[in-house]
Amino acid sequence: MKLWVLRHGEAEPYGSRPDSERALTSHGREEVLRSAANLIGQPLTAIYASPYLRAQETAQLVREALGFGPEIRTVEWLTPETDPDKVSEQLVSVSDVLLVSHNPLVGNLLSYLQHGAGHPPEKVSTAGLAELKGDELLIGSMKLNGIKHP
């Protein structure tokens, strides 16, 4: 089983809009496209994304770059402050999927899937793409094959 976790690209700074409505910058779009290139030829079965605008834009850019047919699955359990345990519960019966989310969830989830609870989060820059591999999704048993930063 493989699992890819992609942090959204660079977003507009915090301002008068709610955090959930911050869009990608032009630089953020470029970052995402560079990261998407690392997914070419991978056996993706689904793309799950946070409902936040910048994650939706990131997922759509990846989908278009890969020519991926299925629709993006928008899920509330990929928002920034979600507990990694809640995410892992949702992934029990899936394989070869891409998750598009935010920090602190991305860093916490990567650490949790590799080491279990209580470890420091992985450092993931905007549009950073992590690849995890394991025989099955068991907390603390996944192997991080690497994190590619654009």
Task: List, for residues 76-103, the tens digit of each pLDDT value.
Answer: 999 999 999 999 999 988 889 999 999 9
Helix (H) or strand (E) holding 144: strand 143-148
- What Å distances lie between residue 25 and 9, 38, 54, 97, 133, CA to CA? 8, 21, 9, 25, 31
Q: In this structure, are residues 5 and 125 in contact, taking their beta carbons and an 8 Å threshold?
A: no
Nearest CA-CA partner of 56 in 27, 40, 34, 32: 32
Q: Report the CATH fold assignment for 2-12+19-148.
A: Rossmann fold (3.40.50)
**Which residue shows structure tokens 């990131």?**
58
Q: Cα(148)–Cα(130) distance, rounded to whole angstroms?
A: 6
State the pLDDT at residue 96. Answer: 94
Residue 146 is classified by DSSP as E
Token pair of 61 as six digits: 């850019």
Whether the predicted pLDDT of 137 surpasses 80: no
Task: Give the predicted TM-score (pTM) of the model.
Answer: 0.96
